[in-house]
Structure 1
Amino acid sequence: MSSCKRPFHLVGRVLSLSRKSKGQIKALYLLNEEGTHRIKLSSSLRSQPWDLEPGIWIAVQGTEKYKAKDNTIKRKAQQIQAHPGLRQLSKPGQGAPCPALEIQGPQSLENPPDPKAIKAPAGKILVCQKSKCRKRGGADLCKLLKQKLDEQGLGDSIQVQATGCLKRCKSAPNLVVLPQKARYSDIKPKEIPALLDQHFG
């Protein structure tokens, strides 16, 4: 395949904004430990006059498309949230917050937390959710992974993310552990504790 579409979730600081001639935000540049990421806003987000100022911390969710031909990743935001520890963002001139943003804590944007105290996820587990993997327990695998991570106190540092086909349908269900890029096929629920201990113990 020349391209692969999958969901993404990034946390970082707004570095700069790209606007249309009418002032709408077309894209934003997000800075985190992995580098700088250009993220286009979906049409529904572009229609809202966001109060996004460079330097504030946000979490962005959406879809990304990897193009093997030129080794690039294009991202489109579907949801923008204030980063945990920051108050809810609001539209300019309005007291009510934007519906797409969530209040996560008592601190204000004028007094952001120390960047060193905010840690990006230490790892990620991608779980295939295509038809065969779902039929063989892919959805339950996601729930079990999140449950076990919470029990081990790793729920905040390890992200479980549903993903598209991992090209091993005959040995479903499949998952990939990042950053090690370790692939696992035909995973059984009883194998989950040992897998987590091996990578994050």
Structure 2
Amino acid sequence: MNKSPKRVVICLGRSCRKYNSQKVLAAFKQNQDLLAEIELDTVKCLGQCGNGPMVSIEPDGVWYSQVRPKEVPLVIEQHLIGQSPVREMLYPKFHSKK
């Protein structure tokens, strides 16, 4: 059984760039040795302007909003490696805080 690889999608749209999404991307790239099986991708817009930087984890359907570069190691360790989303960082529009 072949599972779809995880994919980290980082928005580099104008609004997200205003909130330093390039630094978030750089933080993921700095930890790429931990992400051997993970695809790192960027898009021009994830359609959630004003809530960025936005990061989406596929195929999990998990969205993180207002991601700061210093939070990237937590996403890597807890979500990508540990398979447990970082609840306090979840985008409330798509995920309840329960």
**TM-score, normalized by length of structure 2?**
0.71
Residue 127 of structure 1 corresponds to 10
Q: SS at the partner of 2:16?
A: helix
Quick one: which of 1, 26, 35 aligns to 1:143? 26
1:130 Cα deviation after fit: 0.7
Distance in 2 between the 1:179 and 1:188 partners?
A: 22
Equivalent AA in structure 2 for residue 146 of structure 1: K
Q: Which has the higher helix share?
A: 2
Quick one: which of 172, 175, 184 aligns to 2:55? 175
Question: Does 2:43 align with 1:160?
Answer: no
1:175 Cα deviation after fit: 1.0
Distance in 2 between the 1:126 and 1:163 partners?
A: 7
| Aligned sequence identity (%) | 28
Unaligned runs of 5+ in 1: 1-32, 35-120
Q: Which has the higher strand share?
A: 1
Residue 198 of structure 1 corresponds to 78
State the Cα deviation string for residues 157-194 of structure 1 (Å, max 9, x = none): 11110113222211111010111010011001121111
Q: Looking at both structures, which has the greater relative contact order when contacts are Cα pairs under 8 Å and sequence separation is at least 6? A: 2
State the Cα deviation string for residues 126-165 of structure 1 (Å, max 9, x = none): 0011101112111221121021132x2x2x3111101132
Q: Any residues of structure 2 matched to 1:25-44 within 5 Å, and which?
A: none
Unaligned runs of 5+ in 2: 82-98
Aligned length: 80
Q: SS at the partner of 1:144?
A: helix
C-alpha root-mean-square deviation of aligned residues, in Å?
1.8
Equivalent AA in structure 2 for residue 124 of structure 1: R
Residue 184 of structure 1 corresponds to 64
Distance in 1 between the 2:78 and 2:59 partners?
A: 13
**TM-score, normalized by length of structure 1?**
0.37
Q: Which entry has the higher C-alpha Rg, 1 or 2?
A: 1
Distance in 1 between the 2:44 and 2:61 partners?
A: 15
